[in-house]
Amino acid sequence: MDRDMSLSACPRRGTVFTLGVLVSVGLTGCGHPDNDTRSATAGLPDIEQQLTANPWILDHGASSPRTARDGAITIRFGPGGLVSGTTSCGAYRARFTVDEEAVTVRQISRTFGRCPPHALRVQRAYLAALGLVDKVAPTGRDHLQLEGSAHTKLSYDVYNPK
């Protein structure tokens, strides 16, 4: 076969070969300028869309630090960079930012109320862990996992309050 007629793993758009018949090949991959990585992820939610899609409830057993299962801990990422949620001790709110795969939660404030000492410790541990979050780990549509320094892992499932 002539050197100009050899098959290439990535032929140029519109290149013609002889393989018994003339075939016109118009591949869109292979690093062509029109191979836009945005089109490869079209239709998939970005990190902020994943966060704000649902309210979430903490999966105590899959999270660290381990928290007692004595009450639901929820989180809701909302528009304008606001996040809010509840623990067995009350409510909290904070600000969040997203940058590619990174997420940060800052300026966490909580309500004060009467709370048993154990529940207050759980709330403090959870909010401290939430403040360490810096990454959203890839998960399925009905699951959210936030990770951070000090081996922090907060796993959530979609929360469907009745």
Q: Which domains occur in the chain, in start order? A: 1-44 (no CATH), 47-158 (2.40.128.270)
For the whole model, what pTM was predicted?
A: 0.70
- How many Å apart are CA 78 and CA 66, to the nearest integer? 26
How do residues 117-159 score in pLDDT, each as one tens digit? 888 888 999 999 999 999 998 788 899 999 998 889 999 999 9
- How many Å apart are CA 91 and CA 75, to the nearest integer? 10
Which three-class secondary structure string do you get for 22-68? EEECCCCCCCCCCCCHHHHCCCCCCHHHHHHCCEEEECHHHCECCCC
Q: Residue 1 gets which letter from DSSP?
A: -
pLDDT band at 14 (very low <50, low <70, confident <90, very high): very low
How do residues 31-84 score in pLDDT, each as one tens digit? 444 444 443 444 445 888 889 999 999 999 899 877 767 689 999 999 899 999
What does the pLDDT read at residue 58?
95
Helix (H) or strand (E) holding 17: strand 16-18
What does the pLDDT read at residue 8?
41
